[in-house]
Amino acid sequence: MPAKIIDGKAFAATVRGQVADHVSRLKDDHGITPGLAVVLVGEDPASQVYVRSKGKQTVEVGMKSVEHKLDASTSEADLLKVIDDLNNDPEIHGILVQLPLPKHLDEDLVINSIAPEKDVDGFHISNVGLLGTGQKSMVPCTPLGCLMMLRDHHGSLSGMDAVVIGRSNIVGKPMAQLLLGDSCTVTIAHSRTKDLPDVVRRADIVVAAVGRPEMVPGDWIKPGATVIDVGINRLDAPEKGEGKTRLVGDVDYDSCAAVAGAITPVPGGVGPMTIACLLANTVTACCRANGLPEPDGLTA
């Protein structure tokens, strides 16, 4: 039987709808509008696209969107001042500093200067610690989106064998923590893992977050397993015209889809869920800041 395609685009639209409903209740019942501030330093073209998209979607769900676009040569002190002002702004409930930052800025220092309760990317060291100890935290958006799709597909994940390929702080490690929190038996594989194909073959759930185009072939996948492809890789596509490119994931889609029980496509899988979860985190942060109940199903 062909794998079920997990449609992240449709799922993200549902999440945005839930966020929009909650935002309108916050406005109507409490006179509160959740606010998200995005800080961009420099002119990295990919970051500019992400920031535009985040701002647009923030407004579409009824929240306040604030953008701070700073020059690439901005000093650390000036950036920290912008963050401090946002930390103290009662109309801002979520703060996101777009990564990567220019080389002269200390990324850890900058991220850890965001108030943890406004850290909607979930990268602050306090949120990392809270997640690792199973406490209420802000959860990184991409792994949160993967978890939502897995819960939606499987219901309970308890007792399942999960292999996360990749150990980055942004995706791999928090993904593993979330799966552990849902009682999976979790293996984190990485560039030094021995016998990676055999490790992956054990998995009921495979999450690939490597950044290597189509590196996981179908014969690594246990029949019926669920494959979540986080990778976003751009390949030349001369067949589409000169200079054209196409997006592929970290798994070889066709061969994996022939074996898997369910699979996320690239594009249209994990990608759209990431911004939807950013919006979800902002509404969650707003509810927590105001001592109000959090929306159901939008947190880990």
Enzyme catalytic residues: 54, 98, 121
Q: Which one of 166, 174, 261, 295 is in contact with ligand NAD (CB under 6 A)? A: 166
Q: Which is nearer to ligand NAD, 185 or 193 (CB)?
A: 193
Rounded-to-integer distance, Cα 300 and Cα 291, Å? 18
Q: Smallest gap, in angstroms, from Cβ of residue 191 to ligand NAD? A: 4
Q: Which is nearer to ligand NAD, 116 or 166 (CB)?
A: 166
Q: Which is nearer to ligand NAD, 192 or 296 (CB)?
A: 192
Q: Smallest gap, in angstroms, from Cβ of residue 35 to ligand NAD? A: 23
Q: Which is nearer to ligand NAD, 115 or 215 (CB)?
A: 215
Q: Which of residues 217-276 bind ligand NAD (CB under 6 A)?
A: 230-233, 270-271, 274
Q: Which one of 18, 58, 98, 142 is in contact with ligand NAD (CB under 6 A)? A: 142
Place of tokens 């849902």: 182
Helix (H) or strand (E) holding 18: helix 8-30
DSSP notation for 128-176: HHHHHTT-S-PPPHHHHHHHHHHHHHHS--TT-EEEEE---TTTHHHHH
Q: Smallest gap, in angstroms, from Cβ of residue 89 to ligand NAD? A: 27
Q: Smallest gap, in angstroms, from Cβ of residue 90 to ligand NAD? A: 30
Query: Closest by alpha carbon to 187, among 161, 168, 160?
Result: 161
Rounded-to-integer distance, Cα 294 and Cα 287, Å? 6
**Count of residues engaged in binding ligand NAD, rule: CB under 6 A:** 24
Rounded-to-integer distance, Cα 141 and Cα 150, Å? 14
Q: Is 167 in the site for ligand NAD (CB under 6 A)?
A: yes
Cβ count near 128 (within 10 Å): 21
Query: Closest by alpha carbon to 282, among 268, 272, 295?
Result: 295
Q: Which of residues 175-214 bind ligand NAD (CB under 6 A)?
A: 189-191, 193, 196, 209-212
Whether 267 contacts 248, CB under 8 Å: no
Q: Which is nearer to ligand NAD, 248 or 259 (CB)?
A: 248
Q: Smallest gap, in angstroms, from Cβ of residue 121 to ligand NAD? A: 11
The span from the first CA to the last CA of the chain, in angstroms, equals 31
What are the residues binding ligand NAD (CB under 6 A)? 142, 165-168, 170-172, 189-191, 193, 196, 209-212, 230-233, 270-271, 274
